[in-house]
Amino acid sequence: MTAEPHDGFYTTSRDVTVGADPQSFPITGFGLGGLLLALEVIRTPSSHFPFGVIQATLAAPILALAVWRLSRAPTNATLLDSGATLTAVLLFFGRAFNDNYVASLLVLFVLALAASRDERRTDAMASTHGTSA
């Protein structure tokens, strides 16, 4: 299979999602895309805009920090917190950031907080009993 510009697979899997096709997935929601559309920086909801460049620029250092944190403290809380933060950045700076995405992100952050509290409680219990967790 080839990925030539006239190929249907290429068009539907890349062009429509990044705004390179006249019938692209529209820019919507409350994220950067919606803000730029409201400020008329982007002319139409189907216009091309390099969201991927912005996402990659912001996500790379977050991902590097997440890997570093996980190498130092490989816990569920660290994984959930890092994953939720990275997901939030990628969604907010994408073509669409809908209100239901906020609920999903809140669930991830609440799970990270709960995991962190549980790990602190487990560590505290282990230290009072003279054992290491």
Could you read off the pLDDT tens digit of each residue along the chain, which spans 133 residues?
A: 555 556 666 666 666 666 666 666 788 899 999 999 999 999 989 888 999 999 999 999 999 999 999 999 899 999 999 999 999 999 999 999 998 999 999 999 999 999 988 877 776 667 776 655 5
Helix (H) or strand (E) segment spanning residue 97: strand 96-97
Q: Computed over its alpha carbons, how large is the radius of gyration of the chain?
A: 20
Alpha helix (H) ranges present in 1-133? Answer: 8-10, 16-18, 32-38, 51-72, 76-92, 99-128
Q: Dig out the tokens for 77 from the structure.
A: 């809380």
Burial class of 58 by CB neighbour count within 10 A (0 to 12, 13 to 18, 19+): middle
pLDDT at position 19: 62
pTM of the model: 0.76
